[in-house]
Amino acid sequence: MPETTFNADKIRAIDPKIRRQKLFRWIGKIAAYAVLTAGAVIMVYPLLYVVMASFYTAKEFNESVLGLFPVAKEPTIDNFKMLFMVGLDTATLGYYTNSILRTLYTTSFSCLSALLGGYVFARLQFKRKEALFLCMLATQMIPGILSVLPMYLQLRAMNLYDTWGVYLLLGGGALNVMGTFLVRQTLEELPISIEEAAKVDGANTACIIFRIVLPMVKTIMIYLVITGAIGVWNDWTTPFYYTESQSLQTIPSALTRLTAFAGKEGQLMDYPLILSFSLLVTVPSVVIFFIFQKHIVRGLMSAGIKG
Amino acid sequence: MKAGSIEQRKKKRGWTDPKRALVILAPMILWWFLAAGFPMLFGFVLGFFEWRGINPQPKFIWFENFVTFFKNSLYREILWRTIWLGVVTTAGTVLCGFGAALLMNMPLKGRGAFRSLWYIPAVTSTVAISQVIQIMIDPFNGVLTRIFNANGWTPINFVDSATWGYIVIIFYSIWKGVGGSALLWLAGLQCIDASLYEAAEMDGANTFQKFLHITLPGLRPIVTYIVITGIIGALQIYEPVAFITNGGPQNGTMVLALKIVKDGFFNFNFGMAGASSLILAIIIFVCSASYYLFSKRRANDA
């Protein structure tokens, strides 16, 4: 239908049906922004609360009325000094170091396991490979709670209960099935030519895995390192079930022992102290998350596509 | 016909090397066995013994623990509660995540920021955040109590009521899970071919029709994954209950995973704890296996 642009534009601008469509679209966008922003505020609020409340001294916290947005009238940064290991008592310093050591150790092993496993399943062929992979996946379907009590009994029998052996044994032994799955998927879509060339040049397997394959899967490895580290950092169950002494506790398990399972009817809890512990657990995770959010979001979505 | 090309593809992909695979995998599998595999096997049989931790000799009692489990009304209640809480939480998380993903999929400025902000709860620690919840609802000195008192209203006692316990637990679980769920839905949405939408628009479809005939069918592959993994996770719900209500007023909000821990570590009833774990494990395994078979059949149809 021949139209001169001139008339058509004028008609579009005036045509009530099109104006109505544009209005709906505009309203839709505003509504979307509103919902997403409201949700974002709700998501962040508890964190915000922890941060704001950490500016309080214990005295002021228990005595003032407090609202939903606690702003301290006598702010102190004593609780924040905890984050930077300033002026900590020995117990808390111990928790902090234990958390860091545990995270480094466990994350290294779990990512190594994912890299090696992913390589083996993606690049090597052997009989019953898929059956083995299926078995590995099957173990993931079994809830962790089944193993907690037996693990406790086993550790007692091995005389490892309440020792560093707990972290050493458990931290290194986890087969990172999800990680292996992701590395395998990523690797299978990448060409094998570089590795073949290296093999022809006489490179051994270790060299191939760490010098050639590792850079190829860098993005997914970063995702695994970050999510693995956050997972171990937040984990309170292993120290809680399998150790007792204060010197072995990590920050989250110390917090759990301080607050959970205990009958606390009527006790006046030292909330700012508890909150600074909470801060200590949560802030590093959130900071790391913010720095690496692109990798995390990308990795999560690729896990969804391949899952 | 197809077999031939798979053979060729396999040959292209890698080299046949069982020895190397063994050298790499064997130590990992052995260590795993020591750190996780053996306890898992042990866990399967623990339920068949009477073992109270005090008398060191466990007694083999066949299925007695399991019979006790299903005869005892407390355990039946806990099992039922675990299931319905799991379903409600999963439904809430999945639906809210779906809605959020639809919004995040729109061409808005700052959608990257929204995706990240919504995911923050997932990286927080339940222990830490439940402190905030405790501060709010503590009946003696909590923030909400103080606000109520300051305004002259009678404070609600959140701790004494199982219903409020459920509400807080469900709300918390959805808060924590929505971000991850939204990201998974987003992944699914972005897999749908954009040209389908364009073609529909040219045929005169409105937003609702596009949603019904392109978006929903396009999401079918990922729906099963999201729902099943959601339910499997939700059936094992433990931390929110442990840290917010601790099983609630007189076991009013007790769930199976928490009961297992209490049986084993606080009451030393190892046999019962083992039996309960096995029952939970079987339920979850059935769900996972169904998902796996269901998705395999779908893949074969496709």
Distances (CA, A) of B125 to A251, A283, B234, B243: 11, 10, 17, 11
pLDDT at A12: 67
pLDDT at B80: 92
* Helix (H), strand (E) at residue A51: helix A16-53
Give the list of residues 6+ apart from residue B219 with CB closer than 8 angstroms, or none: B185, B188, B189, B192
pTM, entire model: 0.83
Higher pLDDT, A6 or A62: A62
pLDDT at A108: 94
pLDDT at B10: 46
C-alpha A120/C-alpha A176 separation (Å) is 13
Would the CB atoms of A125 and B17 count as touching at under 8 Å?
yes
pLDDT at A117: 92
Residue B68 has pLDDT above 70, yes or no: yes
- Taking only the tens place, the pLDDT of each residue in B183-222 is 888 888 888 888 888 888 888 877 788 888 888 888 877 8
Assigned token pair, B20: 């190397």
Number of C-alpha atoms within 13 angstroms, CB side, residue A180? 22
pLDDT at A4: 56
Residue B273 has pLDDT above 70, yes or no: yes
* Segments in A174-269 forming alpha helices (H): 177-188, 193-200, 205-207, 214-216, 218-234, 237-242, 251-259
Report the chain A residue with the minimal C-alpha distance to residue B260: A145
Residue type, A280: L
C-alpha A232/C-alpha A275 separation (Å) is 20
pLDDT at B4: 46
pLDDT at B88: 93
- What is the distance in angstroms between the Cα of A127 and the nearest Cα belonging to chain B? 7
* Segments in chain B forming alpha helices (H): 2-13, 18-32, 38-46, 64-71, 73-104, 111-123, 126-137, 143-150, 162-190, 194-202, 207-210, 216-218, 220-235, 239-240, 256-261, 270-301
Backbone angles phi, psi at B62, to 5 degrees: 50, -130
Average pLDDT over chain A, rounded to an integer: 83
Residue B280 has pLDDT above 50, yes or no: yes
Can you tell me which residue has the tokens 């292993």? A238
pLDDT at B14: 66
The residue among B71, B73, B75, B74 whose CA lies nearest residue B63 is: B71
Would the CB atoms of A49 and B132 count as touching at under 8 Å?
yes
Backbone angles phi, psi at B63, to 5 degrees: -95, 15
* Helix (H), strand (E) at residue A299: helix A293-306
Residues 59..88 of B with a Cβ closer than 8 Å to A: which?
none
C-alpha B36/C-alpha B32 separation (Å) is 5
* Segments in A158-190 forming alpha helices (H): 164-173, 177-188
Q: How confident is the model at residue B11 (pLDDT cuts 50, 70, 90)?
A: very low
Give the list of residues 6+ apart from residue A230 with CB closer than 8 angstroms, or none: A285, A288, A289, B123
Residue B154 φ/ψ region, left for φ over 0, alpha for ψ in the -120 to 50 degree band, beta for the rest? beta
- What is the distance in angstroms between the Cα of A77 and the nearest Cα belonging to chain B? 19
Q: How confident is the model at residue B2 (pLDDT cuts 50, 70, 90)?
A: very low
Q: What is the mean pLDDT of residues A67-78?
A: 77
Which of B128, B184, B242 minimises the CB distance to A304? B184
pLDDT at A113: 93
Give chain A's end-to-end CA distance (angstroms, integer).
Answer: 49
Would the CB atoms of A173 and B36 count as touching at under 8 Å?
yes
Report the chain B residue with the minimal C-alpha distance to residue A279: B128
Which residues from B are below 8 Å from A265, CB to CB? 140
Would the CB atoms of A43 and B24 count as touching at under 8 Å?
no
- Taking only the tens place, the pLDDT of each residue in B141-154 is 777 877 777 787 77
Q: What is the mean pLDDT of residues B8-21?
A: 67
Of these ranges, A59-73, A214-228, A288-302, B12-26, the one predicted with the greatest mean pLDDT is: A214-228
- In angstroms and rounded to an integer, the radius of gyration of the C-alpha atoms of chain B is 25
The residue among A139, A132, A137, A169 whose CA lies nearest residue A152 is: A169
C-alpha A55/C-alpha A51 separation (Å) is 7
Residue B300 has pLDDT above 70, yes or no: no
Q: How confident is the model at residue A98 (pLDDT cuts 50, 70, 90)?
A: very high
Assigned token pair, A227: 């999510």
Which of B13, B191, B232 minimises the CB distance to A192? B13
pLDDT at A25: 84
Report the chain A residue with the minimal C-alpha distance to residue B10: A125
- Taking only the tens place, the pLDDT of each residue in A257-293 is 877 765 454 455 667 778 888 888 888 888 888 888 8
Q: How far is CA B235 from the centre of its chain?
A: 6
pLDDT at A111: 94
Report the chain A residue with the minimal C-alpha distance to residue B192: A305
Asked if residues B137 and B144 have their Cβ atoms less than 8 Å apart, the reply is yes
Which residues from B are below 8 Å from A297, CB to CB? 112, 115-116, 119, 183
The ipTM value here is 0.81
Average pLDDT over chain B, rounded to an integer: 84
Q: What is the mean pLDDT of residues B254-281?
A: 88
B178 touches chain A (CB under 8 A): yes
Assigned token pair, B166: 């459920």
Asked if residues B48 and B272 have their Cβ atoms less than 8 Å apart, the reply is no
Residues 34..93 of A with a Cβ closer than 8 Å to B: which?
35-37, 39-40, 42-44, 46-47, 49-50, 53, 62, 65-68, 70
Q: How confident is the model at residue B91 (pLDDT cuts 50, 70, 90)?
A: very high
Distances (CA, A) of A159 to A222, A240, A242: 36, 17, 11
Give one DSSP letter per residue of B22-63, joined into a string: HHHHHHHHHHHIIIIIHHHHHHHHHTTEE--SSSSS-EE-TT
pLDDT at A24: 84
